[in-house]
Chain A
Amino acid sequence: MTKIQYLSLSKGERFLVNTGDFFKGIGTGFVNFFKGIPLALLKLWHKICAPFRTLKNAWVGGTWFTRGNFLIFGFSQFFHKEIFRGILYLLYEAVFIWFLIVIGVPNLAKLGTLGTFAGTSEFISDPSRGTTLSFVSGDNSFQILLYSIVTFLFIIIFIALWYFSIRDAKSLQDNIAVGRLSKNSQFFTDLTNKNYHTLLLAVPLVGLFAFTVIPVVFMIITGFTNYSNAHADLFDWVGFDNYGILFSGSGENSAVVTVFLRVLAWTLLWALIATFTNYFLGMVIALLINKKGIKLKKLWRTILILTIAVPQFVSLLLINRMLSNNGILTDLFVKWGWVKPSFSPFDNVLLARILIIVVNMWVGVPYTMLICSGILMNIPEDLYESARIDGASSFKMYTAITLPYMLFITFPYLLSQFVGNINNFNIIYLLSQGAPTFKSSGIIIPSSFGGNTVGETDLLITWIYKMSMIGDDKNYALACVLGLLVFIVIAILSLVFYGRSNSVKNEEDFQ
């Protein structure tokens, strides 16, 4: 199918060809993904054995100073005028060893069984102060798991720094052999020049690791334990049972699989609809405001910004209030006959879902409107003029120029909005709390899966919240399993879209 043939097709045929290409694209995407694997593996293999090669010739070719580094970090740096770098290396080694001894080893030992000694508490009557409760603290599996994860992280960093210190020592030795001596002050002048990025990124990265990476790793790992309200202090490895429970659908958990699929379907549907409704309505309003003849542009924009200014949870609680049993809007709905008198609109699934989407539009549209008006302002004017000369109607101009241009520019934003909506907790939690519960429609959900609080309009995220925080069983492990599944779903979807969108590819030359 040459280009010319393609252009000669009618619109309908072209649409078919395009959709065919899209799916073929995904197909070829997977095919060359797998084809790419051996190449990637080879590259990976080179990447892995490169450090070993440097280590080998560091040991073989290295002087005793360089060899010293194998044992003590920064050993040769001290002797060759790079004292500050040496101190840093040594400092880390000392801290690591202290950490390993004090916290690491005891916890790692217990990692296998995640603690056995439950800890006892008995009353000790003491003549002077009456009976007091003395509490002998037992093992706390949570703490053991957390510390062992942190220890693993420290070990990885230790190995990396060990390798770097040796590589530095070897290159130092070569430099000296070649007559290029280093100076102590060089460390600081480099800090503001060559390695300025380390200076800038040090603090943010520490924060990122401590408060984001460790929790995420912890979450993935607890998916393999049975940590829940019942086993609060002492839980132990359960392997893939959690996944088994979720998917086996045997015994009392039979309903779980259907619930999971329905919630997953609703989450994806919700994310799709919410993202596109917000986007298009926002764009339409932006178009209206930016239309040539319209005055008071600033006024309209300011009114809409009001919703962004007021904290989201205030407006959501307010609307929830308006939609509650005897709220203003419920009376309206009753008058229109959508809702039976004494029921709240959240009782029937369809109405609840529509309401959530509408409210989400109310909250989300101003933001997209701002973004779209931002882009509208810098669409080159001559596109419109040439279209007008060609005699395009305003609708044609919209579809031919504005829409494609906007879609191209906002694609990454759209994608991140899509991911954001999948994890959009506030709207559901504050508005409908899951509204019509499955129980009302006859599906029994075991308490470990959030019991009867789980409802039809629950997203995966709110279901997880109910399972881990509110439900009487608080089964954190199962919640983590679901959390991981959410991640996998998002990862696949964004990989497929992200890879194919060209606006990401030319990120580099966009600067």
Chain B
Amino acid sequence: MASLKLEHIYKVYPNGHKAVSDFNMNIKDGEFIVFVGPSGCGKSTTLRMIAGLEDISSGELYIGDTLVNDMQPKDRDIAMVFQNYALYPHMTVYENMAFGLTLRKVPRAEIHEKVMWAADVLGLKDYLDRKPKAMSGGQRQRVSLGRAILRNPKVMLLDEPLSNLDAKLRGQMRSMISKLHQQLKTTFIYVTHDQVEAMTLGTRVVVMKLGRVQQIDSPQNLYDHPVNKFVAGFIGTPQMNFFNVTLLEGKDDVEVRWSDCEQPSLRISKQSVLKAEKKYLRGDVPVCLGFRCEAVSAEEEELAKKDNIVDVTISHFEELGNETLIYGDLKEIEGLGGESTTSIIIKASSKMGHKEGDVIKARIDVERIHLFDAKSEMTIIPSIPEHNVLPVSIQNEKMDLFGTFNKPVSIPVDFLKDGTISIPLDAITVGKGNVEAKVLLVEDHEDKHLALVKANDKELFVFVDEKVKKGDKIVFSVNYSRATFKDEKEMVVASPLADRDNLFATFVNLKTAYEDTKDENLMAIRNERVNKVNEEYQKIEADFNAEKETAINEASKKEQEIAPEVETKRQELEKKNKELTEKLAQARNEYRTGVKEAKVKHAQIMKDEMAKINAQYKEMWEKEKLDYKESMMKNKDRETRSQRRLSYSIFKESFPQMKQNDVERKTNSLDFEKETELNGLRAKFTQTKTLLTDQIKENKKAFEEECFPLKIVNKEFAKREKELQEKKANDLLHAELIFFFKFNDQFFLIPDDITGRIIQGLGNKVFTKTFRIEVPHYGFKESDKGLPFKVVSFINYGDTKMYKCTGEIFGEKVVVYIDKEREMELGSSVNLEPIIPETQIYENELNIRLY
């Protein structure tokens, strides 16, 4: 039962191909996660990386809260079910399931009990002694499931377990797996390319394509709110209908005009495209309309609503029993209607009397449509929009946005006639600022609250805290430095400053840094950390010794007191232990006799059963022979005689086989009972044995504690002492491990957790790599140790000023913007030091994100 954390997981093959890039996910305990995607999208590679069968190129994988990157598969406490079951052909089902535990030297009784439990859960009771060869695909899959659940692992991994089974069996196995999941509460990670399994099994589904995660969400959200055209197309059968359209904003609704055919355009409410960027609504941007086959219907009562009706020429039908799929096209179909962009699939209850070639009416339910940008294939109505696009005009120092007011100095634009400004949502700070707005509605998404507000006739989205309700009044201010200004011809007039500047550095450890610069305070940092660790341990050691002191003299005092009674205590101990050993011996031969008895009993049962079967079959044989002789005498007609003779020979032929099967089944079940009884006895005996031996140990320990407390105390403290020293050595080593980012000849200390992550990602090749560090504007601080920069120019953003500074790192010109409250004249030089925790760190060559 463990949670799973994957951070920036990359899988890069030696030839540079990235099988999995930047996979981030937090899986809570007990979740059923499904990786789904076309073949070759990296879903199996990710699963194998979690299992440890493939090593992780970079990034961190936590199972529970232990980092398992370098751990062997067997130490990760995970179990895996393979696509081709991977059962050991030469072992019986029992041995197959028990193999994992026998490898880990678990006592036999416990193994037996666990195997029985697993067999019971999976209904494999009477197959335990069979070889995998003799079992069907479904049974074999259940055995491999049993082998996995037997070890009750922290995480269960399933690699397309059902793809080799037939449809009916797949359905049964699906329900069994989900039942198993409810029962065991283990975290399941399931890989499949069949999206039906993904939708039915997963609590959360990860859709992947070409190594990148497209969307992680619950199945229903994936179905209703796909983030892009690929996810929409992949989820749901039959595939979603896609059409090329353009949107035009009308007076009170938005018109959806078909681009590839002359059907009447659809009308959708403004409300539904509220979150879309205005540029899509001007009718010239190609958009892709998508809706599922159940969102369009040709039923009478739907057509009665008269709106959004299209004519469909039917090309063919697919009858699935409870429903029919009508395949048609919005244009006439030439030839066989091959690759047409206007094909449509309609789900209907029945053929409704239509036949191929008819033109019928169908109504599209505009509530359930999806709109994607034709080029980027991303949805244009995301649940949380990136930024607000609003009309704006600027003339002679006046800006008309939220009402006209004088233009903040920082906006470098002087004249703009009905252009647009796009303001990223996180550039708007609510609660401070001079612009009021009325809250129209509030939506909450997991941890964020999105509100649609109206500021003097302009609607925009902002993030608010949960207290804000519909109808409240709020104030907000905009950090214009992050906004983009475009003129009417969509030309960018002023682009925002990239919020992060790139610096390049190498990763260096203390020794090389010190050798290069002989800079004392580098060593000072180290000494300071080492002293800190030493002091800390001095304190711990001090009170450890104090504790030891008190314990020792207390024990020696107790020893003097008890000294006279030691003798009596020892006899008492011996008496008690002797008693116990007797009981143990008695239990042992009781067990032995029990086993002998059981064996005899079972042998007897076996004999009787065999005798019974033999008698039964002998009698059957006699009856048949008699009946045959009699019927031969009775009827003379040739036909029935040859018939009877035939049936008699068949009986004779199949008789031994039938008997043999029966005998075998009988012996199997009897052996089984005997085995379970013997195991029961053995389990009982081992239980009593462990109980008694523990008790003996207990008594001895109690006696020693009582009479010779000193020895025990010394032993215990010696152990703790050793542990403490080990911990101290380890901490000291880590104190020594200080690393720096080297820019030209400046060194900046890297905090420990970040170094851990970088080293985890790249191992010992870390010194040979160059790193790209993206520093946000506010991420610089002035310090004399910083890098020399020259202030070149500045952009005034009203409340903040952005200074453009240039400098040189490793011979490359670097441009950096810093926002500083105080005035800085142009041309002056300033030393800047990046605040590393604020930055994002990438390994430059393969562009792998480390922090």
A residues adjacent to B (C-beta < 8 A): 171, 174-175, 177-181, 193
Closest approach, in angstroms, between the C-beta of B666 and any C-beta of chain A? 36
Contact B759 A174 (CB under 8 A): no
A179:B767 contact, CB within 8 angstroms: no
- Within 8 Å CB of B734, what residues of A? 179
B759 touches A179 (CB 8 A): yes
The answer to whether B733 and A178 have CB atoms under 8 Å apart is: no
Taking chain B's interface residues, is the majority helix, strand, or loop, or is none over half, making it mixed?
helix
A179, B511: Cα distance in complex, Å = 13
Q: Is B764 an interface residue (CB 8 A)?
A: yes
Give Cα A175 to B509, complex, Å. Answer: 12
Contact with A along B760-801 (1 / 0, CB 8 A): 000111110000000000000000000000000000000000
Q: Is the CB of B764 within 8 A of A171?
A: yes
Contact of B766 among A171, A178, A193 (CB under 8 A): A178
Q: Does the CB pair B764–A178 fall under 8 Å?
A: yes
Interface residues of B (CB under 8 A from A): 72, 509, 511, 733-734, 737, 759, 763-767
Whether A180 pairs with B72 at a CB distance below 8 angstroms is no
Expressed in whole angstroms, the minimum distance between the Cβ of B474 and any Cβ of chain A is: 50
Give the top 7 A-B pairs by smallest Cβ distance, nearest first.
A174-B764, A179-B737, A175-B764, A177-B509, A178-B759, A178-B764, A171-B764
User: Provided the pairs A179-B733, A179-B734, A179-B759 are in contact, do residues A193 and B72 lie with their beta carbons within 8 angstroms?
Assistant: yes
Q: Are A177 and B733 in contact (CB under 8 A)?
A: no
| Residue in B closest to A181 when the chains form the complex, CB atoms | B733
Which of B72, B733, B764, B767 is the most central at the interface, judged by chain A CB atoms within 10 Å of its CB? Answer: B764
- Please name all residues of chain A whose beta carbon is closer than 8 Å to the beta carbon of B737 when the two chains form the complex: 178-179
Task: List the A side residues contacting B763 at CB < 8 Å.
Answer: 178, 180
Given the complex of chains A and B, what is the CA–CA distance between A178 and B70 in angstroms?
14
Residue of A nearest to B766 (CB): A178
A171: chain B residues within 8 A (beta carbon)? 764
Shortest Cβ distance from B698 into chain A, in angstroms?
34
- Complex Cα–Cα for A179 and B766 (A): 12
Q: How far is the CA of A193 from the CA of B70 in the complex (A)?
A: 14
- The A/B interface has a contact count, at CB < 8 Å, of 25
How far apart are B39's CB and chain A's nearest CB, in angstroms? 16
Q: How far is the CA of A175 from the CA of B759 in the complex (A)?
A: 10
Of the residues A180, A181, A193, contact of B764 by C-beta under 8 Å: A180
- By beta carbon, the residue of chain A nearest B762 is A178
Q: Are B767 and A174 in contact (CB under 8 A)?
A: yes
Residues of A contacting B511 in the complex (Cβ-Cβ under 8 angstroms): 177
Cα A175 to Cα B734 in complex, Å, equals: 13
Give Cα A179 to B730, complex, Å.
10
- Chain A residues whose C-beta falls within 8 Å of the C-beta of B764 in the assembled complex: 171, 174-175, 177-178, 180
A467 to chain B, nearest CB (A): 51
Question: Can you list 14 contacts pairing A with B, beta carbon distance less than 8 Å?
Answer: A171-B764, A175-B764, A177-B509, A177-B764, A177-B767, A178-B509, A178-B737, A178-B763, A178-B764, A179-B733, A179-B737, A180-B759, A180-B763, A180-B764
Minimum CB–CB distance for A24 against chain B, Å = 32
Q: Which residue of A lies closest to B70 (CB)?
A: A180
CB distance from B730 to the nearest CB of A (A): 9
Chain A residue nearest to B74 (CB atoms) is: A193
Complex CA gap A401/B737 in Å reads 69
- Tell me the nearest residue of chain B to A171, going by C-beta: B764
Bound CA–CA A179/B72 (angstroms)? 19
Residues on B with beta carbons closer than 8 Å to the beta carbon of A181: 733
**Cα–Cα, bound, A181→B734 (Å):** 11
In the bound complex, what is the Cα–Cα distance between A177 and B766 (angstroms)? 10
**Alpha-carbon separation in the docked complex, A177 to B511 (Å):** 9
Q: Which residue of B lies closest to A173 (CB)?
A: B764
Measured CB to CB, the closest approach of chain A to B67, in angstroms, equals: 12
A338 vs B733: C-alpha distance in the bound complex, in angstroms?
Answer: 94
Nearest CB in chain A to that of B756: its residue: A179
How distant is the Cα of A175 from the Cα of B764 in the complex, in angstroms?
5
User: How far is A181 from B737 in the complex, measured between Cα atoms in Å?
Assistant: 12
Chain B: CB-nearest residue to A175:
B764
User: Complex: how many Å from CA A174 to CA B763?
Assistant: 9
13 extra A-B contacts, CB within 8 A, seeds A174-B764, A174-B767: A171-B764, A174-B765, A174-B766, A175-B764, A177-B764, A177-B767, A178-B737, A178-B759, A178-B766, A179-B734, A179-B737, A180-B764, A193-B72
A60 to chain B, nearest CB (A): 11
CA distance A175 to B766 in the complex (A): 10
Closest Cβ of chain A to B150, distance in Å, is 24
Give the residue name and chain of the B residue nearest to A177 (CB). B509
Q: What residue of chain B has the Cβ atom nearest to residue A193's Cβ? A: B72
The residue in chain A whose Cβ has the minimal distance to the Cβ of B730 is: A181
Q: Which residue of A lies closest to B765 (CB)?
A: A174
Q: Which residues of B contact A179 (CB under 8 A)?
A: 733-734, 737, 759
Question: Nearest chain A CB to B260's CB is how many angstroms away?
Answer: 36
CA gap between A175 and B733 in the complex, in Å: 13
Distance between Cα atoms of A174 and B766 in the complex (Å): 9
Give every chain B residue within 8 A of A177 (Cβ-Cβ).
509, 511, 764, 767
Give bound CA distance, A177 to B758, whole Å: 13
Shortest Cβ distance from residue B513 to the other chain A in the assembled complex, whole angstroms = 12
Q: Bound complex: CA of A25 vs CA of B767, how far in Å?
A: 49
Q: How far is the CA of A180 from the CA of B734 in the complex (A)?
A: 10
From residue B91, how far is it (CB to closest CB) to chain A in Å? Answer: 21
Residues on B with beta carbons closer than 8 Å to the beta carbon of A180: 759, 763-764
CB-based nearest B residue for A179:
B737
Residues of B near A193 (CB, < 8 A) are: 72
A370 to chain B, nearest CB (A): 25
Cα A181 to Cα B726 with chains together (Å): 14
Bound CA span A429–B524, Å: 85
Distance of A137 Cα from B72 Cα, bound (Å): 61
Min Cβ gap B86→A in Å is 16
Report the nearest A residue to B759, measured CB to CB. Answer: A178
B764 nearest in chain A by CB position: A174
A179 to B736 alpha-carbon distance, docked (Å)? 9
In angstroms, how far is the closest chain A Cβ from the Cβ of B515? 11
CA distance A179 to B738 in the complex (A): 10
B412 vs chain A, min Cβ distance (A): 47
CA distance A171 to B511 in the complex (A): 16
Q: How far is the CB of B58 from chain A (nearest CB, A)?
A: 14
CB distance from B810 to the nearest CB of A (A): 19
CB B801 to nearest CB in A, in angstroms, measures 42
Complex alpha-carbon distance, A171 and B767, angstroms: 11
Distance to closest chain B CB from A58 (angstroms):
13
B243 → A minimal CB distance (Å): 39
Q: Which residue of A lies closest to B734 (CB)?
A: A179
Complex Cα distance, B737 from A309, in Å, reads: 70
Closest A residue, CB atoms, query B758: A178
CB distance from A511 to the nearest CB of B (A): 14
Smallest beta-carbon distance B114→chain A, Å: 27
Task: Chain A residues near B766: list those with CB within 8 A.
Answer: 174, 178
Complex Cα distance, B72 from A193, in Å, reads 10
Complex Cα distance, B737 from A11, in Å, reads: 77
Q: Report the minimal beta-carbon distance from A137 to chain B, rounded to whole angstroms.
A: 56
CA gap between A181 and B733 in the complex, in Å: 10
**Chain B contacts for A174, CB-based, 8 A:** 764-767
For residue A170, which residue of chain B has the nearest CB?
Answer: B764
The CA-CA distance from A305 to B765 in the complex, in Å, is 60
Q: How far is the CA of A178 from the CA of B769 in the complex (A)?
A: 14
Least CB distance, B590 to chain A, in whole angstroms = 43
Chain B's nearest CB lies how many Å from the CB of A224? 42
Residues of A within 8 A of B733 (CB): 179, 181
How distant is the Cα of A505 from the Cα of B263 in the complex, in angstroms? 56
Residue of A nearest to B733 (CB): A179
Q: How far is the CB of A175 from chain B (nearest CB, A)?
A: 5
Closest beta carbon of chain B to A69's beta carbon, Å: 16
With CB as the reference atom, state the residue of chain B lying closest to A174.
Answer: B764
Of the candidates A174, A178, A179, A193, the one having the most CB atoms from chain B within 10 angstroms of its own CB is A178
Select from chain A the residue with minimum beta-carbon distance to B512.
A61
A437 to B: closest C-beta gap in Å: 59
Give A178 to B760 CA distance when docked, in angstroms. 9
A63 CB to nearest chain B CB (Å): 8
A50 to chain B, nearest CB (A): 13
Min CB distance B633 to A, Å, is: 40
Q: Output the least CB separation between A371 and chain B (Å).
A: 25
